[in-house]
């Protein structure tokens, strides 16, 4: 059967997963009476809850006697490691662009990677049913982006489609027939070349990894040369050509719609999943025993942020989670780093702490969220940027390109706040509908915790996008959090009466009845210093009653922080305690006397 391998790339929320739903339906991959869900490719719980794609996934469909393998890719820059790996599995890409927003930072990132590999994109301008659509301007912006990314002449002569994945149509003109996806299918067959098989014995580069309770480790990739047969002896080679392990193929699985089905033979050019090996991982070459050279794997951009994961040592440790030992946490982190090449795990001098480095806050927050759902308890430190040094020994820090779409009335405060965080304003232009688009180059450390502040400053109307730009000389100190915190000075359950009397000190972060311990953060102080308070003090009861003295206590709604907000809120001497049931903020050193000694030592060092 004829084959085509394509990936769908786009910025987050431009409609990749919805488009794949429609392609599967219209190609006849499902029975008429088969029950299907929205965003079928978003398979895990967090993807469904947040409406984002985290893992690259493969599906396939048949159109006019041609099997089309389609890879759905993540849209967030934090998961760029997934996109970089899968692009060398395909022979063409569909670049999806929102007809109102136009090309965004992640569009630029994934398109740059695709053009570098020599792929020829098909541009699909999606969401043309939006009242604020500006398809013609967006097409000009896409062409300018291709030119800025040094596309060659063939790549600049890209075909264009217009349509709405939600309304299930694509056409060659903005006002073309709105009845089906046939023009997109036909364009894929016409413009994407079939995969070319290289001569030689069986070779496949492992691109994604997953674990199956029955089959064990499953590695997915595109067969470069030769054929794969069940029970065939193979070996795994690492990037440098050394043998990782020898084994046999226990099963070959091919993608058929949303299912993976066993097949008797995997042919060159097809994307398949192979089971049977126990040690091979992503970027390894699986091959016949006669092959001695590994396939070239795509280099992955370096991590820009790191966090310290440590064993939970709070007084409430072990009361909510079942996995609390350092050995269990270390094994889980190492397993995650095997499958996600954008993640790096290192041991530290302390036996109970590990440094985990990744592409961004969201990537690390998703890892923590997955771990807490599996029953882990952790203490997590504040994200820190990963510095590099040039030949002269000067410190370089990661810089990000930041694009903010904001109402004109709020643009002044956004520019002021980002300049305080050492950002340079590059461009300021109208983006339609009374909104302004601001483009900055900002240091990554200045953006930690900025998103929640941005939403407060703009009343929730700003759209914030960021993308790693490169390393530049260090831009000097950036002021951290302006406020101190309120700390509990006792162990027990918080009392409503005590919280009510503390409200003039600052907003609370806990409800009455919450378990507290000394050193736990229970609220934000309105001043710059930390303050220890008693949240366990109940009302003194007497037998004298007077009118109006015993009214019910009315508390202000506490300021509850999500996991990402908590990670960006804490200071360097604080931790987020993460358990399956709770997210608590605390000081790294719980004992007040030891904490003061540590502060004095830190001040001496800085002096």
Query: If you write DSSP's letter for every residue of 191-250 in order, what string do you get?
Result: HSPPPPPBSSS-EEE--EEEEETTTEEEEEEEEEES-B-TT-EEEEE-TTS-EEEEEE--
The tokens describing 217, both together, are 């480790």
The tokens describing 336, both together, are 């995650």
To 5 degrees, how large is the angle CA 219–CA 113–CA 471?
110
Q: Residue 159 to residues 120, 184, 349: CA-CA distances in angstroms?
A: 9, 10, 55
13 is in an annotated binding site: yes
108 is in an annotated binding site: no
18 is in an annotated binding site: yes
126 is in an annotated binding site: yes
Compute the distance between CA of residue 207 and CA of residue 89 in angstroms, rounded to an integer. 8
17 is in an annotated binding site: yes
Compute the distance between CA of residue 576 and CA of residue 560 in angstroms, rounded to an integer. 13
128 is in an annotated binding site: yes
Start-to-end CA distance of the chain, whole Å, equals 72
Residue in this structure with the two tokens 């989670």, named with its chain if needed: 321
User: Alpha-carbon Rg of the chain, whole angstroms?
Assistant: 27
Alpha carbon dihedral 222, 228, 234, 238, in 10-degree steps, equals -10
Decide: 221 and 89 in contact? Cβ < 8 Å.
yes
Best CA proximity match to 357, nearest among 297, 303, 424: 303
In DSSP terms, 379 is beta-bridged to 310, 577
14 is in an annotated binding site: yes
Compute the distance between CA of residue 397 and CA of residue 445 in angstroms, rounded to an integer. 9
Signed CA dihedral, 325, 330, 333, 338: sign only:
negative
3-state DSSP call for residue 138?
helix
Sequence ranges of the binding site: 13-18, 126-129
Sequence ranges of the binding site for GTP: 13-18, 126-129
């Amino acid at each position: 059967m004829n084959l085509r391998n394509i990936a769908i790339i786009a910025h987050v929320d431009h409609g990749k997963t919805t488009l794949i739903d429609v392609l599967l339906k219209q190609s006849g991959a499902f029975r008429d009476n088969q029950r299907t869900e929205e965003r079928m490719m978003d398979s895990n719980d967090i993807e469904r809850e947040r409406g984002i794609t985290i893992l690259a996934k493969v599906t396939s469909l048949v159109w006019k006697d041609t099997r089309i393998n389609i890879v759905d890719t993540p849209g967030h820059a934090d998961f760029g490691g997934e996109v970089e790996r899968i692009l060398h599995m395909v022979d063409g890409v569909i670049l999806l662009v929102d007809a109102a927003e136009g090309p965004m930072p992640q569009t630029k990132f994934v398109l740059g990677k695709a053009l570098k590999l020599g792929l020829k994109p098909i541009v699909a301008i999606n969401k043309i049913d939006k009242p604020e659509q500006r398809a013609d301007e967006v097409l000009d912006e896409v062409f300018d982006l291709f030119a800025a990314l040094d596309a060659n002449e063939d790549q600049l002569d890209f075909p264009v489609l217009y349509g709405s994945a939600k309304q299930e149509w694509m056409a060659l003109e903005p006002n073309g027939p709105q009845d089906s996806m046939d023009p997109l299918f036909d364009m894929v067959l016409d413009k994407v070349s079939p995969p070319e098989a290289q001569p030689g014995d069986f070779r496949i580069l492992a691109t994604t990894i997953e674990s199956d309770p029955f089959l064990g480790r499953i590695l997915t990739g595109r067969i470069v040369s030769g054929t794969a047969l069940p029970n065939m002896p193979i070996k795994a080679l690492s990037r440098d050509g050394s043998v990782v392990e020898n084994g046999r193929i226990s099963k070959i699985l091919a993608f058929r719609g949303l299912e993976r089905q066993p097949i008797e033979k995997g042919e060159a050019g097809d994307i398949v999943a192979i089971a049977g090996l126990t040690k091979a991982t992503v970027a390894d070459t699986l091959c016949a025993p006669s092959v001695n050279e590994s396939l070239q794997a795509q280099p992955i951009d370096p991590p820009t942020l790191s966090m310290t994961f440590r064993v939970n040592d709070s007084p409430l440790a072990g009361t909510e989670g079942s996995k609390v030992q350092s050995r269990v946490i270390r094994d889980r982190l190492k397993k995650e780093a095997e499958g996600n090449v954008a993640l790096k795990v290192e041991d530290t001098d302390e036996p109970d702490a590990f440094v985990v480095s990744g592409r961004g806050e969201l990537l690390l927050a998703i890892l923590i969220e997955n771990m807490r759902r599996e029953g882990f308890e952790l203490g997590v430190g504040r994200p820190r940027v990963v510095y590099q040094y040039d030949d002269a020994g000067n410190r370089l820090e990661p810089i990000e390109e930041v694009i903010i779409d904001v109402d004109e009335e709020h643009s002044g405060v956004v520019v002021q706040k980002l300049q305080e965080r050492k950002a340079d304003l590059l461009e300021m232009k109208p983006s339609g509908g009374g909104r302004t688009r601001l483009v900055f180059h900002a240091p990554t450390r200045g953006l930690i915790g900025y998103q929640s502040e941005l939403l407060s400053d703009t009343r929730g109307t700003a759209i914030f996008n960021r993308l790693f730009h490169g390393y530049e000389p260090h831009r000097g100190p950036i002021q951290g959090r302006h406020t101190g915190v309120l700390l509990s000075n006792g162990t027990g359950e918080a009392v409503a009466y005590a919280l009510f009397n503390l409200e003039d000190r600052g907003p609370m972060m806990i409800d009455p009845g919450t378990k507290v311990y000394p050193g736990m953060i229970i609220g934000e102080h309105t001043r710059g210093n930390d303050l220890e308070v008693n949240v366990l003090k109940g009302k003194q009861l007497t037998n004298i009653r007077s009118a109006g003295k015993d009214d019910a206590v009315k508390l202000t709604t506490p300021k509850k922080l999500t996991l990402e907000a908590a990670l960006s809120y804490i200071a360097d001497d604080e931790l987020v305690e993460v358990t399956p049931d709770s997210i608590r903020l605390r000081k790294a050193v719980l004992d007040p006397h030891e904490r003061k000694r540590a502060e004095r030592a830190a001040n001496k060092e800085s002096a």
